[in-house]
Amino acid sequence: MSPARKSTPAAAKRGTGQNKTGAGAKAPAKPKAAKRVARLSPADAEEMFARLKALNPTPTTELEYSTPFELLVAVALSAQSTDVGVNKATRKLFPVANTPQAIVALGVEGLKPYIATIGLYNTKAANVVALSQRLLAEHAGEVPRGRAALEALPGVGRKTANVVLNTAFGEPTMAVDTHIFRVANRTGLAPGKTVRAVEDGLLKSVPADYLQDAHHWLILHGRYVCKARKPDCPHCAIRDLCRYPDKTPGEPEPVAA
């Protein structure tokens, strides 16, 4: 997978999961949607995704998983953590416990050592064990495919449900994290002051053909190109389409012959 342009992944990265969020969920604290920008036209939105797709035809999550349950656990662990950090933990955890039964058998105290390097690990350990118990009690140990059932699981909010619905089950949902929130606002693709407003805006403005993978393209673009502190505008593939008024100056380096 190759995002539009990879600079150093050492830039602050946020995971794709988060705790419960609802219709009134506040936007990520940083960066703010400080300036009002013009909306992208439908034609420019189409062109934007055509370019992102050309650069990365099959985007996917950077969280490592092999089953819907592993993805659910990885996303639940990723709130306010990096995907890299979550992958380091789950590479040790999943070979030992990658089913609800095994997680419940491990228990909260047994799970903690595997995830102790991840932020909020005490709360996350309790949630992962509790959601595993709920899956066994109410869903025969399977991850449900419905939003309501997912959001009823301990520690699973709207965004986590969106990630699972999109990435595990192929639903055209839009899980708005800090990267997507920033890119949607800067570009003018779906300006909004809250996470839910941006999610709803994206569901309207992303062309139907690109909706399934848009979540991944936007995250990767925000993570590696349209970075929070200093967007790499000179090397951005959608610079001419983007409505952000404070683009970083400079010209792209000439391509070597």
Where does this chain bind ligand SF4 (CB under 6 A)?
186-187, 225-226, 231-233, 236, 238-239, 242, 244, 247
Shortest spacing between CB 221 and ligand SF4, in angstroms: 7
Chain center to CA of 21? 14
- Given the complex with ligand SF4, which of 69 and 244 has the nearer CB atom? 244
- Given the complex with ligand SF4, which of 155 and 201 has the nearer CB atom? 201
Phi and psi dihedrals of 45, rounded to 5? Answer: -65, -40
Shortest spacing between CB 163 and ligand SF4, in angstroms: 22
Shortest spacing between CB 5 and ligand SF4, in angstroms: 9
- Mapped onto helix, strand or coil, the DSSP state of residue 27 is coil
Chain center to CA of 226? 15
Answer yes or no: 13 catalytic: no
Q: Which two tokens stand for residue 48?
A: 């934007």
Return d(Cα 206, Cα 190) in angstroms, integer: 9
Q: How far is CA 121 from CA 93, 115, 179, in A?
A: 13, 6, 23
Shortest spacing between CB 247 and ligand SF4, in angstroms: 5
Catalytic residue among 13, 124, 159, 227: 159
Plot region of 68 (φ>0 → left; ψ -120 to 50 → alpha; else → beta): alpha
- Given the complex with ligand SF4, which of 51 and 145 has the nearer CB atom? 51
- Given the complex with ligand SF4, which of 139 and 247 has the nearer CB atom? 247
Phi and psi dihedrals of 191, rounded to 5? Answer: -65, 140
Answer yes or no: 177 catalytic: yes
Catalytic residue among 44, 83, 177, 213: 177
Which are the catalytic amino acids? 159, 177
